[in-house]
Amino acid sequence: MKKIIITFLFSIVFLKSAYADMNDADKNRAWECSGIYMANYFLPSGETFEYSMKEKSMASVKVLKAYALEVGIPEKEWDEGVNKAVDKFYGSKFDEVKTNACHDFVNLTVPNGEDRVKKVVQTLY
């Protein structure tokens, strides 16, 4: 009976750690990336870009929000953080280095991030 209880408690601890919330640094980075992605979507006229980049940017914003909600970040808190980041980056020029760094962040932070973004891109239209 002891072994069953110990195994049960260990599995709860293990599952809880595997499903841990975003830490503050990841949350701030996710907000920053959301702001960069939104700026990409609303690039000022005259900026050159590939249309697929806009699609991937919007899909990445959706995936980041979905993941944030999955790990327990309240929607109001998430939206407030994104709004601040959008205000910071809105109207800026396309920055390929920052955008690629955000893609890497999504792929490393969100489980199956790359696949999730691809699925959302397919549902945009």
Is 13 inside a domain boundary? Answer: no
Is 91 inside a domain boundary? Answer: yes
Q: Considering its fold, how many domains does the chain have in total?
A: 1
Range of the domain at 98: 21-123
Q: Hey, how many other C-beta atoms are within 10 angstroms of the C-beta on 36?
A: 23
d(CA 72, CA 74): 6
* Residue 118 vs residue 91, higher pLDDT: 118
Is 34 inside a domain boundary? Answer: yes
Is 67 inside a domain boundary? Answer: yes
Q: What is the pLDDT of residues 52-83, one digit of tens each?
A: 788 999 999 999 999 999 999 999 999 999 99
